[in-house]
Structure 1
Amino acid sequence: MDQANKLQYQQQVEKYLEGNKVYSIFEDLLKSLIIKKPDDPIEFLINKLQEPETKKIFIIGPPGSKLLELSLTLAEYMKFHCVSLGDLIKKELSKKSELSQQIQDSLDKFQYVNDEIAINIALNQIQHLENEKKSYIFEGFPKTRVQGLAFQKEGIIPDAFLILEMSEEQIYQCCLKKLDTEPFNKLSQKEELARNHSLEYQLNLKQVKEIYKNQYFSVDGEKHYELEDMAQRLKYKLYNNAPTRAGRILVIGPPGSGRSTLAKHLCARYGFVYISTRELISNLVNQKGTTGKEAFEKINKGDLVDDRIINALIKERINQTDCQLQGYVLDGYPKTQQQLETLNELNIQPTLIVIIDATDDIVLRRLTQRRTDPISGRIYNSIDEADREVKSRLIIAPNEKRDVVQLRLKRWEDLKQLIDGTVKYASVIFKTSGDAPINNIIEQVCYHLEKMN
């Protein structure tokens, strides 16, 4: 079977597997096996296949952000049961027990309820819903890393995790608004309490995101969404309208086109593994070997690292277990004709090749404004993004100086023509303009990716 027919056959197989939810079925069964560890796996799987399908959604956001109202509305629309941690805590408070006094002490300080208390309250309710095989939305939990890890230990893994994102100022305003409601309206020094609670929320949110990095997705909490639109976003997560579980996506484009931003977003949104040639080379340089030194010298001159080095790094990375199970997004590979030809040798049959193109003027303007912090390695799109103490040490990276960028643009033009002339990849190429705002590029690619199913 030649390469063109092999690629076409593979696409037909994947279309069948996606269309019949085979990936989703096996993923759910495997997840249940790992969590439950039954003594008789075969009998367990047979029973599991006969059970009604249930789903669980976690939704969190800043206090005072109308999170409960959103959760109740979505639950009614999707015919899910809705559980609110806030309501469960209120119910516990009404019991006037020693536990309720501990909860009240936290509320009197406008602080989070003790993790152990919150976990026990949440688990009691969730285990009841799990036993009754009900689909549910859990609002307001988990709020901390400890809470998230406790749920994972109990085998409670969300099928979708929605986070309402807001700016720091808006989170602070939400906290102030919350302090105007019962029972917090009697507290003094509200501005200080709101500021502290806002910072506590943001710190905990960052840790929660790390735990659920492959499950959560964010929406702009300051934007109004139609109910159907929000429900549709959740259904994409719940019922695997997302791309193939083991997708192999290449994102290529000239420097400064938004290529890396797009690649990272696809990985965060769909659970793919992010593979960056820049990061692979950086890791190699840090090993301080002969090969790393050779690569470092090439980069500083604006030259490409030898194909034999790049191909070896890519081969080693894509053969690791996480890439085989989750799929991956390759950022900035291939860059040369030999790398393009090596795709076959590496057994990379792309499910999608995203080509981001941008005019030379746009690229030059973006890269001549970009600065790098030599200490942290952080890249700033302009010097104005950096703090005052950082600004003085920012530099222009060697491979982003004007003459080097022009050389890179020439190489990009050659690669683009080469890929355009490769017939076997024509059916998996999606082109978008890098001149557009990055959010527009992301939405276009995500829509195409989901529509492919």
Structure 2
Amino acid sequence: MDETVKPLRIPPQMSVYADKHNVFRLVQSLLSGLMIDQPEDPIGYLIRLLQRSSVDIPRVLLLGPPAVGKHSVARKLSAELRAVHVTAEGLLQDQSELSIQARQYTLAEQEVPAELLVRLIQQRLNEIDCFNRGWVLEGVPQTRLEALSLQQAGVIPEHVVMLDAPDDVLLERSQGKLVDPLTGDVYHRTFIWPADGAVAQRLEEGRGLSEKQQLAELQRYRREVTGLTSAYQHVLKVINADQPHTDVYQQVLAFVRTRHRSRTPRILLFGPPGAGKSNQARLLSEKYKMADVCCGQLLRSVAADGSALGVEIQSYLDDGRPVPDSLVLQVLEERLSRVDCSCRGWILHGFPFDLQQAKGLQKSQHQPNRVFFLELTDDVCLERITLRATDPVGGQRFHAVSRPAPSAEVQNRLKTRSEDSARSVTRRLSQYRLHTAALQSVYPDAVLIDADRDPHSVFEALESRLTAD
């Protein structure tokens, strides 16, 4: 009996079907709702969830310091999403028992206890309009304790937007506040002025905090912002509000919509030598738990496993010959069918290299849903590669400009790989440029990313496009 354990494979058609019909998102939404709300009638509850117009019901928190523009953005966003706009002030206005209790604290100029506030929010968000249409919750929570209490109560936002601006800008905005008495919309003499002249004529002075009170509120917010950020770090986007209101709103809307749809990532990453493909693939793999599939490393791994296929591949590697496309595709077919790739996704780099390989991959069952080209000039590529060397003692890699050796002793023993010579890099660059246009024609929807930046900025650019529709 063969005791060899073979890696579990999942037909790639399954993940393609799941992406097309948003199955993972549907199951996640149903299961999380069931576990959080714990209804008495779980079957009936699931049926009601499925009968909603969409499983992608918006659940948005909009946070930020006083005078940053939360109210204006939240009103506009809730109208755009057809979601319920929920504010702390609005929660206190109904005649429920919880609201009456909360008002007693505000009338006494005391802070509403976190437990009571959470129960009040939970009660409002469980009402039928929020259940069916979703919600945009403005200005709450204000502390990490409130955030964690909301999470424990099952109030889990899909998106958290944190607006921010320098304190001097916020203090200036707190002066000159104007309110439309008919709609409640907030305007400002300098920052936000209504386009409609009739609206401008009926504006009234808004009641705001004194400068002393404003400073106190700002200081309180600054003390709590780190805790709030950590509580929502996986669904958070911080947006600079010190720019035109229209630009701020468009960034908020883009964030909410971009992350409105999830999919299993299947990524092709192209780029010239020195563009940072391996580093970016590693960063994406670490954050999103997708499989990092480097074609070169994969071939060497298979060659070392002693299988018949590995022995055949090793013969090509020993002779310095390219491994035939048919063998490469066979190896990739096996790797990309494993359960980690099928369930969590993958990021492939190092293949395809030319038009023929790209067409071969297209005929396979493994189709990417995101393609990125890292762009870098030849001069920068040469500088990045030819000036790097490795310490044979510690195995660390150094760079003459960006990461020089720590001492003369280390510098003297550094070794440069033959493939990092200027001649070798120039040849590889020439080959890459020769095939780039053809590859881009195969993937016309590919996103071009400027790689002549620090790795963190490149990573952010890649990340921002991962779930864009």
Contact 1:144 1:207 in 2 (8 A): no
Aligned partner of 1:203 in structure 2 is 226
What amino acid sits opposite 1:203 in the alignment? T
Residue 168 of structure 2 corresponds to residue 173 of structure 1: yes
- For 1:95, what is the secondary structure of its paired residue? helix
- Give the drift of 1:38: 5.3
Aligned partner of 1:290 in structure 2 is none
Aligned partner of 2:159 in structure 1 is 160
- For 1:362, what is the secondary structure of its paired residue? helix
- Give the drift of 1:121: 0.8
The farther-off stretch of 126-135 and 428-437 is 428-437
Out of 352, 355, 370, the position equivalent to 2:373 is 355
Aligned partner of 1:304 in structure 2 is none
Q: 1:38 to 1:84 in 2, by over 3 A?
A: closer
Contact 1:164 1:219 in 2 (8 A): yes
Aligned partner of 1:254 in structure 2 is 272
- For 2:372, what is the secondary structure of its paired residue? strand
Contact 2:272 2:375 in 1 (8 A): yes
Q: 1:401 to 1:254 in 2, by over 3 A?
A: farther
Aligned partner of 1:292 in structure 2 is none
Out of 229, 234, 239, the position equivalent to 1:219 is 239
Deviations, residues 155-184 of structure 1 (Å, cap 9, x unaligned): 222233223255xxx2x4367569985266
- Give the drift of 1:85: 3.7
Deviations, residues 373-417 of structure 1 (Å, cap 9, x unaligned): xxxx9x99987xx9xxxx989x99x79999837456654655676
User: How many residues matched?
Assistant: 378
Aligned partner of 1:287 in structure 2 is none
Q: 1:89 to 1:421 in 2, by over 3 A?
A: same
Contact 1:165 1:220 in 2 (8 A): yes
Out of 69, 84, 87, the position equivalent to 2:72 is 69
Contact 2:378 2:429 in 1 (8 A): no
Looking at structure 1, the residues matched to 148 and 381 of structure 2 have their Cα atoms a distance apart, in angstroms, of 43
RMSD between superposed Cα atoms in Å: 6.3
Contact 1:23 1:245 in 2 (8 A): yes
Looking at structure 2, the residues matched to 186 and 226 of structure 1 have their Cα atoms a distance apart, in angstroms, of 28
Contact 1:162 1:217 in 2 (8 A): yes
Residue 50 of structure 2 corresponds to residue 55 of structure 1: no
Write out aligned runs for 1:325-364 (5 A).
325-329=343-347, 334=351, 349-364=367-382
Contact 1:368 1:402 in 2 (8 A): no
Structure number with higher helix proportion? 1
Aligned partner of 1:185 in structure 2 is 212
Q: 1:61 to 1:38 in 2, by over 3 A?
A: same
- For 1:226, what is the secondary structure of its paired residue? helix
Contact 1:178 1:184 in 2 (8 A): no
Out of 411, 429, 448, the position equivalent to 1:432 is 448
- Give the drift of 1:142: 3.5
Identity over aligned pairs, percent: 18
Structure 1 stretches lacking a partner, 5+ long: 1-8, 104-112, 282-306, 372-376
Contact 1:272 1:329 in 2 (8 A): no
- Give the drift of 1:248: 0.8
- Give the drift of 1:50: 2.4
Looking at structure 1, the residues matched to 399 and 118 of structure 2 have their Cα atoms a distance apart, in angstroms, of 42
Looking at structure 2, the residues matched to 156 and 195 of structure 1 have their Cα atoms a distance apart, in angstroms, of 27
Aligned partner of 1:236 in structure 2 is 257
- Give the drift of 1:146: 3.7
Q: 1:429 to 1:152 in 2, by over 3 A?
A: same
- Give the drift of 1:70: 1.7
- Give the drift of 1:137: 0.7
Q: TM-score normalised to the size of structure 2?
A: 0.55
- For 2:263, what is the secondary structure of its paired residue? coil
Deviations, residues 255-314 of structure 1 (Å, cap 9, x unaligned): 55365797699899xx94466689xx9xxxxxxxxxxxxxxxxxxxxxxxxx9xxxx9xx
- Give the drift of 1:118: 3.3
